[in-house]
Amino acid sequence: MCAGARSKGAACVGGATRSKRVPRAVREQQMLDAGVRAFARSGYQNASMDDIAELAGVSKPLVYLYLNSKDELFTACLRREAAALVTAIRAAVERGAPADRQLWSGLSGFFAHTAAHPDGWTLLHVQARTQGRSFAREVVAMRAEIVEFVTQLIGAAAREQARGAARARTLAGPEVSGLAHALVGAAESLADWTADPRAGGPSAKEATATLMNFAWAGLGNLLRGQGWSPERVG
Amino acid sequence: MCAGARSKGAACVGGATRSKRVPRAVREQQMLDAGVRAFARSGYQNASMDDIAELAGVSKPLVYLYLNSKDELFTACLRREAAALVTAIRAAVERGAPADRQLWSGLSGFFAHTAAHPDGWTLLHVQARTQGRSFAREVVAMRAEIVEFVTQLIGAAAREQARGAARARTLAGPEVSGLAHALVGAAESLADWTADPRAGGPSAKEATATLMNFAWAGLGNLLRGQGWSPERVG
């Protein structure tokens, strides 16, 4: 594989490889790009380091030199994609806006990011989950961060509502947490549909509108103390 | 492993094994029970046929005689758990009741089943997804059946509502489908939380109440034509 690498500016010297023109940080990102694509499409077991090196346009020894092992490459891919997703959501949220507007902007950011990075989403949501405990932990931590963020948002909205209206019922902590889990699960499900090109799912914008309608018209009622109970119907 | 099998009533004869007292159908279910538990807890790669045979109290040759291979055992486990889940949901739904009552009863059935069968749920929702295309297909088909069932339910509710109130807006097909995806994803997320004994999540009953509140107070508004739009807020 050294021939291909050399043609792109990396030199093979006795198994070790050194980039001449491309800085290491840039090369690493190219390797991670290739890794995300290969792992998302073939899974951890089936994706080969040969394929990943070829996709990245570098030699296999260079991939090992920079990222040590398939295991560490996979972890680096996961971390980068998880951080990018969390950053995209946080950047999209309109701080200081009313709670529903904050939620809407956050969901817009989430669906825009997952639609633009379907391989990254597949890596996080499908491939990472069963590839051993350490990989699962990375994703569980990222998901917990998102759930916590949504929990804070719903909690703040509930307190805001409670100050404004005497009728409003304060949602209990576990209930807020449950709603956040439900909302995150709903978003994941729609993101899977959006990210799968064969599924004929909605665009990022349509997914945002659907979930926002579903979630907020529901949350909005809950926050005003208008829940649903089986006793209401016959 | 024949010693253990013989003590439970199976006889080893030159590699082939025959059950003397326990009917084949019962033995197979015991093997599937053991498979579901082992695959859910260790994953497909790490679960060994030795462990599964021991868990089932039979010899390893008997497992191979009945189920051919680890691959076929895994598939049989998946099929049984998928069928059981779909059956539990269908059986729980109160046919002919108002739409919200139908949804509530279906969700009750879903959460009661996943809470009672956490290994089966883990197998379907976590382990099966990345274990090769054929396994993923089984689960994708089951999930599609559930989404379709929920889509029908929401569609029927929308038509019911449209007949009753002049103001009601008829939800478009893709929108109904999107809502069904959102609802199923929310239910999966809460089921993961409920099924994980270390997560301190809600009981099946609490999960049902949370999701029903979230979903119906939201869907109820949508069906009355009261959606959310970003234009409404500042």
* Mutation target among B135, B179, B181 for the A interface, most CBs of A within 10 A: B181
CA dist B130 and A126 (Å) reads 7
Identify the DSSP state of A125: I
CATH (domain of A21): 1.10.10.60
A88-99 pLDDT tens trace: 999 999 988 887
* Mutation target among A134, A137, A188, A189 for the B interface, most CBs of B within 10 A: A189
Q: Is residue B234 part of a domain?
A: no
Residues of B in contact with A102 (CB under 8 A): none
Q: Is residue A158 part of a domain?
A: yes
Residue A153 has a pLDDT of 85
Q: Is residue B54 part of a domain?
A: yes
Label residue A23 exposed, middle or buried (CB < 10 Å: 0-12, 13-18, 19+): exposed
Q: Among residues B68, B88, B106, which one ends one of the domains?
A: B68
The chain A residue lying nearest B232, using CA atoms, is: A101
In this structure, the answer to whether residues B37 and B90 fall within a common structural domain is no
Q: Among residues B68, B90, B108, which one ends one of the domains?
A: B68
Composition of chain A by helix, strand, coil, percent to 5 = 75, 5, 25
CA dist B110 and B94 (Å) reads 13
Q: Is residue B95 part of a domain?
A: yes
In this structure, the answer to whether residues A94 and A190 fall within a common structural domain is yes
Residue with tokens 């295309």: B133
Cβ-Cβ contacts under 8 Å for A200 (sequence gap 6 or more): none
Asked if A97 and B130 come within 8 Å (Cβ–Cβ), the reply is: no
pLDDT 10s digit of each residue in chain B, 234 long? 444 444 444 444 444 455 468 899 999 999 999 999 999 988 888 899 999 999 999 999 999 999 999 999 999 999 999 999 999 999 999 988 887 888 889 999 999 999 999 999 989 987 777 666 667 778 888 888 899 988 888 888 777 776 766 555 567 777 888 889 999 999 999 998 887 777 778 899 989 988 888 887 766 666 666 666 655 543
CA distance B61 to chain A (A): 28
What token pair was written down for B226? 């009261």
In this structure, the answer to whether residues B168 and B189 fall within a common structural domain is yes
In this structure, the answer to whether residues A134 and A173 fall within a common structural domain is yes
- Closest of A146, A89, A86 to residue A112, by C-alpha: A89
Identify the DSSP state of B129: T
pLDDT-derived band of residue A1, with 50, 70 and 90 as boundaries?
A: very low
The chain A residue lying nearest B94, using CA atoms, is: A234
Label residue B233 exposed, middle or buried (CB < 10 Å: 0-12, 13-18, 19+): middle
Instruction: Phi first, then psi: give them for residue B13, nearest 5 degrees.
Output: -130, 100
Residue B215 and residue B103 in contact, taking contact as beta carbons nearer than 8 Å: yes
Q: How far apart are the first and last CA of chain A?
A: 72
In this structure, the answer to whether residues B82 and B165 fall within a common structural domain is yes
Asked if B190 and A175 come within 8 Å (Cβ–Cβ), the reply is: no
Asked if B130 and A43 come within 8 Å (Cβ–Cβ), the reply is: yes
* ipTM surpasses cut 0.85: no
Residue with tokens 């932990």: A137
Q: Which long-range contacts (CB under 8 A, 24 or more apart) does B163-169 make?
A: B165/B224, B167/B224, B167/B225, B168/B223, B168/B224, B168/B225, B169/B225, B169/B227
Residues of A in contact with B125 (CB under 8 A): none
A137 has pLDDT over 90: no
When mean pLDDT is compared across A158-172, A188-202, B149-163, B191-205, the lowest value belongs to A158-172
Q: What total of structural domains would you count in chain A? A: 2
Q: Which of A98, A185, A214 sits opposite B233 (nearest CB)?
A: A98
Asked if B214 and A126 come within 8 Å (Cβ–Cβ), the reply is: no
Mean pLDDT over each residue of chain A, to the nearest integer: 81
- Closest of B188, B34, B46, B30 to residue B131, by C-alpha: B46
* Mutation target among A110, A129, A181 for the B interface, most CBs of B within 10 A: A181
| Owning domain of residue B194 | 77-223
Q: Is residue A150 part of a domain?
A: yes
